[in-house]
Structure 1
Amino acid sequence: MRLLQLYSSHNIGKISLSISSSLRSEADTERYKDLRAVLQLLASLCSKDLVDFSSEPIEAQGTNICQVVYMGLHIVTPLISLDLLKYPKLCHDYFSLLSHMLEVYPEMITQLNGEAFVHIIKTLDFGLSQDAEVVDLCLRAIKGLASFHYKQKSAGEVGLGLHASGYKDQTGNFQEGILSQFLRSLLQFLLFQDYSTDLVGSAADALLPLILCEQTLYQKLGSELIEKQCDTGFRSRLTNALQSLTSSNSLSSTLDRPNYQKFRKNLHNFLTEVRGFLRKI
């Protein structure tokens, strides 16, 4: 914890957009090896890969891993610009941390201030357009967010609270909540973008809790897709495929391992059935 506090006091504000814009090659990112080291340390803590050699457990010393990762996230978030994420090593380290954090400690995301939360969501959206490894990490992070919210809401808790709710911005325009945004983005990605088939499993794991959280929007998006089909044969195939996606293999509304496996099979069959003709429209 003390190490992170020292890093914060010496580095906040010293890594700026103007500096990052001056980078000309991958080798230049070594200037940021201290930031990368912090990202890697936090990811290791979050994944419980770090071995504690002290005689006392961390909790006995007045600090727990969750608190350390939470503080670390507050420190690194303002230092990571979208320009910096264009550099592969730093990009991978950052999203590795984010995916680990949201899988292991998803409740921490609700403790971040609004600015930090919005920044993380923007970086996740950015990550979905990067290479396959980064996309996979982002999908795991989104799964962590959505599954946390769904389980919390099912237990009568607030989950992500206002972050998951739509709102009107300063101009009076309605802005969707983050889970609605990710549901739209992920369906668009799966149906119309080019990607490695190796990502379908991770995409399914993220899509299932998003659908469970945003069932009304999912139905609306499905109806919009169906209405766009001029060919009656395609319209019928899409209608049946959408129905099968959320009902085949005795799919339920739980988020346990067997249900995730069922949904992976359903999504694979769904994409095989409709992706070809949808991309021709």
Structure 2
Amino acid sequence: MRPTSLDVIFEDIHWILLISGHVICMDSEGETAMIPSEIMHYSIRQNSSNQADVNTSLKLLGSPTQRIQDIPGAEESADHVVRLIAAVLRLRDVETKTMENKASQLLSPQLSSTIIWFLNQWSMSYLLPNETYYSDMSIALVTAFGQHTEGAMWTINYLLNTIEMNLIYNLDKGLIKESVNLLTSLVELREKGAYVLKCAGFWNLVNKHNRSEKGILQDSAQRGLLKAFVLAGAALDTSQEKNQYLTQILKPLQERFKNIICDEAFLRNFHHFQVRNEIINILESFIGVVQGSQVSTVNALFGFISPVLAECANLLFIYKNYQFLVSLILQLYCECARGMLCYLTPTESKRLYECCLATIQSYAKCNLGRINLEKTALEDSFSDLQLLMELLTNLLSKDFIDLSPAETNDTGSTVNHLTAGNVCLYGLSIVMPLMNIDLLKFPSLCLQYFKMITFVCEMYPEKICQQPIELFKSILMTLELGLTTFGQDVTTLCCDFIQNLGAHLYKNKQQGSPAHQALRPFLKLLMDLILSHQVNSEILPNTGLALYVLICCYQDDYNVLVQSLINSQTDQDVAQRLAKSFNDLTSNIVLNTGSHQHVRFRDNFDKFIVNVHGFLLVK
């Protein structure tokens, strides 16, 4: 147990590091991380005025085991930015020695995590900076951390050794997470990854991972580690080098999976804690592999992952009562569809589609009838169904973002392949029976569901209309709930669905079809919602567009509804004003769903809302 005085010191250092990290680094999320111009100019001024000596700065940086007082001139002439980094490395060295002497109980896990966080923030901006992004560069910073310098290689190796020690010897989850994040940052950019691959520290990590039967880490940290390993492979120059590297990383993982599921005793022992943990570790690892895929490695990676995907439907059935494992399997598919699908060839895409469908069928087989019987399982069902919705939506994206190389068969013609739209709609037919009103009360699942059906309708309205009538009616039933129950984001999506479906029915002259008849009640529903002030003013434009399309589709019904509403008014003055407002709403407009006509209707609709809401009260 460490003294209380140490806790006070650790907390002070923790806050100093947090403040320092935010001072010397800019928030770069979604942008290229760069050295702040103020810090750069400060370092330049220090060097130009001879207040800093480059050689002394380098010696201070490369001597984390020495006290600053023991390095001649370090206190007087070291570059202040380099000195700050050297101080953090020196602090980290104290931690290393403490762990080596088996006194880690004296350390603060929070402070250790903060040190790694600081090094991560700093490395993104200062380590191997792209000099073309700067009009001026500090000679001290370039010499210490720039490209093609010994200082940069030394620093990267030091960071990798630090990461290795944290991953292998420390059990604190926060520290492990920050260490994996640091490793990922070092290999995320191809230019930095090329330097990392030259460092012995990186290969020490790889070799220790491959030699371990269960990997270096457990659970989600294993995911981040494999992501970093795969990202590093993208920095290799040739396809042959990349394939050899990925084989070195993934072949042991593939063999571990094969050995487990092919074991004759697997079906007897699958529920054992050790077996389940091994499966979890492997699934986490493959999720990380997919998250690390890039266009230059995706096809090679899919070759390793597809055999695992092919077994997942059966694996899900076996572990149907272990919700965490079910979620991991669905997460793996979601990541494949999100990060890999758009780059896969038609043949590879077809394999992924088939695996997805088999797994969705397996999930439906295991869960149909269970949701209503087991109310306590609602949260588990919510989590799984949300992943299924994400999977189907991600699959659908293939049909408008397809970056795959052209593929031909032996005769030279393009390979015919299953469309993502068909897969998504088939999956929807399996998922819909699992949905109920209780599940739609989960906000994130509800939003994901309406996003999915709106996305499908936007891209394939004709296929929505071709669905079995019971499935089509189920979708419209949820649409009616969405317009009235789940908030304005969902209402907006429902209006978009109605607009897309109605426009398709009108343009393709499907009057009298089952889909046309099923959509008819939404004209009255929307009019009632609008006139009774039940639609938020922020989403009135979306509602107006949906109403316009419905008026185009059901002009006779619209006239009847308007006349009925006018006749129901007991005050003749109100009735006359209402009649005039409805007349102005469609005046000078050809009801044909065209964009030019819609613009006119939108202007009329805005005036209509102001006028009608001013004098009409619908009970």
Fold shared by both chains (TM-score > 0.5): yes
For 2:512 and 2:447, how far apart are their aligned partners in 1?
26
What SS is found at the alignment partner of 1:243? helix
- The structure-2 alpha-carbon separation of the partners of 1:68 and 1:86, relative to structure 1 and needing over 3 Å to count, comes to same
Match of 1:259 among 597, 605, 608: 597
CA contact (8 A) 2:469 2:514 kept: no
Deviations 1:202-253 (A, max 9, x none): 1111111111111111111111111122222211110111111111xx3222
Partner AA of 1:118 in structure 2:
K
The structure whose RCO (Cα within 8 Å, separation 6+) is larger is: 1
CA contact (8 A) 2:502 2:553 kept: yes
CA contact (8 A) 1:143 1:205 kept: yes
**Which residue matches 1:167?**
none
For 2:617 and 2:395, how far apart are their aligned partners in 1?
42
- Please show how residues 97-176 of structure 1 align to structure 2 within 5 Å: 97-129=452-484, 130-153=486-509, 158=510, 161-164=513-516
Paired residue total: 259
**Which residue matches 2:528?**
188
Structure 1 position 36, deviation (Å): 1.6
What SS is found at the alignment partner of 1:128? helix
Structure 1: gaps of 5 or more residues: 165-176
For 1:20 and 1:259, how far apart are their aligned partners in 2?
51
Structure 2: gaps of 5 or more residues: 1-352, 409-413
- Please show how residues 1-281 of structure 1 align to structure 2 within 5 Å: 1-13=353-365, 14=367, 16-18=370-372, 21-22=375-376, 28=379, 31-46=381-396, 51-52=401-402, 54-56=404-406, 60=415, 62-129=417-484, 130-153=486-509, 158=510, 161-164=513-516, 177-247=517-587, 250-279=588-617
For 1:184 and 1:265, how far apart are their aligned partners in 2?
21
For 2:444 and 2:545, how far apart are their aligned partners in 1?
26
Partner AA of 1:277 in structure 2:
F
CA contact (8 A) 2:399 2:419 kept: no
Deviations 1:73-124 (A, max 9, x none): 2222222222211111110010001111111110011221122111111110
Percentage identity across aligned positions? 30
For 2:591 and 2:431, how far apart are their aligned partners in 1?
36
CA contact (8 A) 2:421 2:460 kept: yes
CA contact (8 A) 1:95 1:138 kept: yes
- The structure-2 alpha-carbon separation of the partners of 1:236 and 1:117, relative to structure 1 and needing over 3 Å to count, comes to same
What SS is found at the alignment partner of 1:60? coil
What SS is found at the alignment partner of 1:194? coil
Structure 1 position 56, deviation (Å): 4.3
Deviations 1:152-173 (A, max 9, x none): 11xxxx3671232xxxxxxxxx
Deviations 1:252-281 (A, max 9, x none): 223232222221111111111112322266
For 2:483 and 2:474, how far apart are their aligned partners in 1?
15
CA contact (8 A) 2:421 2:456 kept: no
CA contact (8 A) 1:20 1:83 kept: no
Partner AA of 1:12 in structure 2:
A
Structure 1 position 181, deviation (Å): 0.5
CA contact (8 A) 2:520 2:554 kept: yes
For 2:403 and 2:533, how far apart are their aligned partners in 1?
47
- The structure-2 alpha-carbon separation of the partners of 1:133 and 1:126, relative to structure 1 and needing over 3 Å to count, comes to same
Higher-Rg member (1/2)? 2
CA contact (8 A) 2:533 2:613 kept: no
For 2:481 and 2:407, how far apart are their aligned partners in 1?
38
Partner AA of 1:141 in structure 2:
F
- The structure-2 alpha-carbon separation of the partners of 1:57 and 1:215, relative to structure 1 and needing over 3 Å to count, comes to farther
